[in-house]
Amino acid sequence: MADRKRAAGESSRGRCRRALPLHVMLRRQGARLLPRFPHPPATRLCRPDAEGSWSAGVFLGDSPFSLKPIEHWGISSGGGAAWPVANPVVTCADVAGAGFPSSFVANPFLFIQGDAIYMFFETKDPVTSQGDIAAAISKDAGATWQQLGVVLDEKWHLSYPYVFSYENKGSYWLLGSDISSFGSKQRGQLCIWYSSSPLGPWNPHKQNPVHNNNDNRPSAKNGGRPFMYNGNLYRTGKDCGGGSGYNIQVFKVEVLTENQYKEVAVPFVLEKPLKGRNAWNGARSHHLDIQQHPLGHLWIGVMDGDRVPLGDSVQRLTIGSMFYGVASISVLLLSALIGAIKCILPLRWYLPHTEKRSDTLKTEKQVFLCHKFGLLICNVNKLGSLIGGRINYRARKGRVYIAVIILILVVLTCFGTHYIFGGNGAEEPYPVKSRYSQFTLLTMTYDARLWNLKMFVEHYSKCASVREIIVVWNKGRPPSLGELKSMVPVRIRIENKNTLNNRFNIDKEIKTKAVMELDDDIMMTCDDLERGFKVWREHPDRIVGYYPRLAEGRPLEYRNERYARQQGGYNLILTGAAFMDHELAFKRYWSEEAEVGRQIVDGFFNCEDVLLNFLFANESSTSTVEYVKPAWAIDMSKFSGVAISRNTQAHYHIRSKCLAIFSGIYGNLTSKSFFHSRGDGWDV
């Protein structure tokens, strides 16, 4: 093989086209991008279509075979979006925000020049379902991307934008799928063409097809750009067994000449998400492009992914329609039982009507068929009369039967509505400035609440933005990690002393800026967590939580949420369910000025969250707390009987004492936040 090879790619979804000459969009001097910018973009929503909601993510590694999602590298983007930056980095909402309606971001390819990284990808118009080629640029090593809009728009569908620099020397190879011949399989064959120029002419390889799915190797279709590593050429393929496969497979090309081709599969493993539909690529992926990173010692890869399985919308519509159909039958049955419908048809509906007396055979057949149909109607009438005679809906027993059927009808209707209108079940994160991030979930517990903890970990580990769960173990024998079913890493931090101050211990092993302090007996939806995380990312210097309280009066008195709502505002947020910057909050809590407060917390075995609220308020003259209303939240301590606040009146009395003591040490807690003041509707 020549030293300066350039490999070109196939077209997406098996349609055989020659490689798109997208290099014409890059000028030789400076490689300036030539996009077509629209008028000032209007705000548009991303509208996923029947093919799913594909997006693109970035992976980094020391080699092409050690790639990790960008969130594992702790990269910060600033601007209040917190860190780490998390996948996906480009979605259809980003394209729509640039002024181009989009329902699809897939097949991403990289083009690197200097410290600028360009990403070309397929975007699909939700109205015409036509694919166009769009582009984005990153100048911070792939952490954030600026949308450049659609750069190639034709009257036909475009995809698989393999972009490369053209130097008119070296050998060029085109690997793709040829479906022009009779009987060829759209997704099952890999063919090769070669040329001395990317503009052609292209010559077919002598061994075409060099790879097909009939030899028990289901990765004939290309899954991205071939890449060079340690002097070897590698080809990426994808498993198309389900239409758009999940697994990306890599092959080492051992022989590539005009007459021969040989490849062997090599181990290639990317971290698979365990959160299912709550992960941006939890259902499927089918494309990966790998390049040498501008920093030199790293490699960067971009992969597309979708949280919705292929055909999910059709499946949900089918199942929902089946439930509606059964519900309709139940309505007819119910009507028949109460006598509202009687299956009596006029005799003329099934008697034969003939005008040609000579057509004796035809008339006899009509009489026979209509006679049978008439018998069927009569039998149905008799059955309805028989059932109606046995069930008297005015009697108690008959009313029970009717009530059961109505209950079944309601349940069937609810299931049908859920499948058709309830969405795919994913609880997605909310972006801030088109960026995603992750947080660490921290809970404090002990051996008497182990059953709570198991349910807590299994539920919250599925939430999209949860990076890790830390269990602060205060007392008793800690559980083994095998006892906790989790989709994310779990770390059990065993404390030497049973104190509430352990909740805010400085922990240098935490990998995110945000920590969600959440009691293990509080259960809420992942969407509630994601909404709170979005609000905190917009206000990272504050405590953002779900349980507001009001401290007012002289001396200060601790008031519940109902009273706070009556007064229209709050100035405390319980840290048993709250987001905070752990470096900022924990440093303040373990400062020298907070030592007296920590002793008071140990004395009362209470009020650690009240102390933290005072420490935040003492550092700012503006609001330091934000409230987010959960859709629903269940306090499981009511069932376990191990909560420290079982006696509400006594609990509030202790907290009022804490307020009086803390106000004398740290100043009065006077600042107030008002409900429904942010404008997002989440603090109503």
Cα 74-78-79 angle, rounded to 5 deg: 150
Backbone φ and ψ for 217, nearest 5 degrees, come out as -120, 95
Rounded Cα distance between 477 and 446, Å, is 8
Q: 608 is written with which tokens? A: 């650690």
Alpha-carbon gap, residue 235 to 314, rounded angstroms:
34
DSSP character string of 336-356:
HHTTS------GGGTS---S-
Residue 642 amino acid letter: V
Structure tokens at 590: 């373990």
Enzyme catalytic residues: 609
Residue listed under structure tokens 């003259």:
621
Tell me the backbone φ, ψ of residue 22, rounded to 5 degrees: -70, -10
Cβ atoms < 10 Å from Cβ of 178: 18
Q: Indicate the Cα dihedral angle 309, 465, 467, 108, nearest 10°.
A: 50
Q: With residue 255 as reference, give the H or E element that holds it.
A: strand 248-256
Round to whole Å and give the CA distance between 483 and 594: 37
CA distance 595 to 601: 10
Instruction: Report in angstroms the alpha-carbon separations of 293 from 6, 301, 450.
Output: 18, 9, 46
**Residue among 391, 414, 271, 282 at smallest CA distance from 337:** 391
CA distance 630 to 609: 19
Look up residue 457 and give its DSSP letter. Answer: H
Task: Give pairs for 238-242: CB < 8 Å, separation 24+.
Answer: 238/286, 238/287, 240/187, 240/188, 240/213, 240/286, 242/284, 242/309, 242/310
Sign of the C-alpha dihedral computed for residues 540, 515, 579 and 429 taken in this order? positive
Angle at which helix 312-337 crosses helix 396-421, to 10 degrees, equals: 160
Say if residues 284 and 299 touch (Cβ distance below 8 Å).
Answer: no
Please name the residue that has the structure tokens 């992960």: 279
In 246-344, which residue ranges form alpha helices assigned H by DSSP? 312-337
- Decide: 219 and 249 in contact? Cβ < 8 Å: yes
Pairing of β 490-494 and β 466-473 = parallel
Instruction: Give, in degrees to the nearest 5, the angle at Cα 201 between 196 and 205.
Output: 80
- Take residue 133 and report the two structure tokens written for it: 């080629």
Joined tokens for residue 567 = 């007064």
Q: What is the DSSP letter of 646?
A: S
Amino acid identity at 660: A
* Residue 84 identity (one-letter amino acid): P
Identity of the residue numbered 42: A
Kind and range of the H or E run holding 247: none
Say how many residues make up the chain.
Answer: 684
Are the CB atoms for 596 and 615 separated by under 8 Å? no
Q: Read out DSSP for 3-15? A: TT-EEE-PPGGG-
